[in-house]
Amino acid sequence: MLLKRLEIKNVRKIKQAIIDFHGPGLQVIQGVNKSGKTSLAQSISLTMNGTKAYTPGMISHGEKSAEIIGYTDDGLKIRTVLSDSVKQTVQRLDETTSRYVNVSGGVREFLNSISSGLEFPWAMRKMTDTKIIELLKQRCGISEKIKEIDDETKSKEQLRTEIGRDKKKMGEIKPVDEAQHPKPADELTARRDEAAGYVKWLRSTLDKAEEIIRAKCRFNSVDDIHALIPILEKTVESAEKSIAEQKQYTQGDVDAFNNELSEWLKLETAAKAYDDYLNKKAEHDKLTEQYDKLTEEIETLRTKRKTTLAEMNLGVKDLEIGEDNALYYKGALRGVTDTNDEGNWSTAESVQVFFMLGARFSGELKILVVDNGESLDANTTGAISKWAETSGFLVILLKVAELPEELEDQIIYIKEGEVVTK
């Protein structure tokens, strides 16, 4: 379906105009600044998009209403009236009665089904890769799906970073020789303490006996020496009796017990070191497993994102959205960002991609509009014309230029809101 005729009344600069389009291919509309080209572009946009394309001040100064009627080559009549609001009707020519009758269903729904989703595709050349990709995701209805994937990926990447940080803090887990815990040392410790207690007690007992004997060692005569003998015998008897009641140990026994405890401590220390190694290794292995699992899940999400983007059906062969969220055509990065407005694609490649995208998202009404046509060189204009003819689209190119002395048949000229014909 192509736009065949456009009748415009009281739209900005255009008071009254009838414009007939020649069919598929490039249709140049030429005039100086403020001659009415923008009014024509807005009229086309209003015809296809209605209220959402309306901007205040579109009605000519001093007029209360404006009217735009578009005719298609298959018999549609799209009438748009501007006053306090935007009202549209869509009718189709009944060949049997030669009268126009209203189409079934809602007007807006019908126009949405036939109009283009990207009426001004060449405007994309000024957009960053990111903005174009967001637009394409919206057109394909996958914006929310991609956002969910991106949010989940970001969450898992953050968690993986934290796990990686925890692993790094643990440092290298050096292997430790296997060691078993010895039998509990309670009994050995008790025997050592008993022996040490006995040796201490014995020392104390002998020291007391010594004190008693020393206290009696005051000799003034031989009789004093003989008097000491019974005291010594009594002291010896008392000490022997006390010693006989105890289990006897020597300092050598205490030293032996201490050596045994020292060996036990070595074994226990080695066993604890092995336990600590096993615990750290288990924690390290757990973190590694979690890290690897997250890496796998992240890769799965990235593949899912890539697959989702690849299944968008952009309608342009060799056009891809890279993992870096940039546009690639035939493997070449476009590379337009907020800080770099010079892309890597040639003009011909840009024409091919952007107009094919416009075609992909168009409805039955095959019409695209190119503004600022004066900025295009002959090669670019030729590429657009060739694409339009091959694709069966009507591409309207608005060009700022003076009217030549010799008018050309294939160009529509506008001067001060009026169509000038040859």
The span from the CA of 61 to the CA of 95, in Å, is 39
Question: Residue 421 is encoded by which pair of tokens?
Answer: 């014909």
Q: How do the domains of the chain map onto residue ranges?
A: 1-116+363-422, 119-142+318-361, 186-280
pLDDT at 259: 96
- Give the model's pLDDT for residue 116: 62
Q: Note the pTM of the prediction, 2 decimals.
A: 0.60
Give Cβ neighbours of residue 155 (< 8 Å, ≥ 6 apart).
none
Q: Which two tokens stand for residue 98?
A: 């030669």
For residues 354 and 314, what is the distance between their CA atoms, to the nearest angstrom? 11
Q: Report whether CATH 3.40.50.300 matches the domain 1-116+363-422.
A: yes
DSSP alpha helix (H) spans, 184-250: 186-216, 222-244
Spatial distance between the Cα atoms of 12 and 57, rounded to a whole number of angstroms: 7
pLDDT, position 153: 96
For 207, residues 6+ apart whose C-beta sits below 8 A from its C-beta are: none
- The reported pLDDT for the residue numbered 342 is 85
Helices and strands (DSSP H and E) totals, the chain:
9, 14
Beta strands (DSSP E) in 153-192 are: none
Task: Determine the distance from the C-alpha atom of residue 327 to the mean position of all C-alpha atoms in its chain, rounded to a whole number.
Answer: 17
CB atoms within 10 A of CB 406: 6
In three-state secondary structure terms, 199 is: helix
In 3D space, the residue among 292, 311, 313, 411 whose CA is nearest the CA of residue 357 turns out to be 313
Which pLDDT tens digits describe the chain residue by residue (422 residues)? 888 999 999 998 888 989 888 888 888 888 888 888 888 888 888 888 777 778 888 888 888 999 999 998 888 999 999 988 889 889 888 888 889 898 887 888 887 777 766 667 888 888 999 999 988 888 888 999 999 999 999 999 999 999 999 999 999 999 999 999 999 999 999 999 999 999 998 898 888 888 888 887 877 888 888 888 888 888 888 888 888 888 888 999 999 999 999 999 999 999 999 999 999 999 999 999 999 999 999 999 999 988 888 888 888 889 988 878 899 999 999 999 999 988 899 888 888 888 888 888 877 888 888 888 888 888 888 888 888 888 888 888 888 888 888 888 888 888 888 888 76
The whole-angstrom separation of Cα 74 and Cα 90 is: 13
C-alpha to C-alpha distance for 326 and 29, rounded to whole angstroms = 34
Two tokens at 170? 């643990």
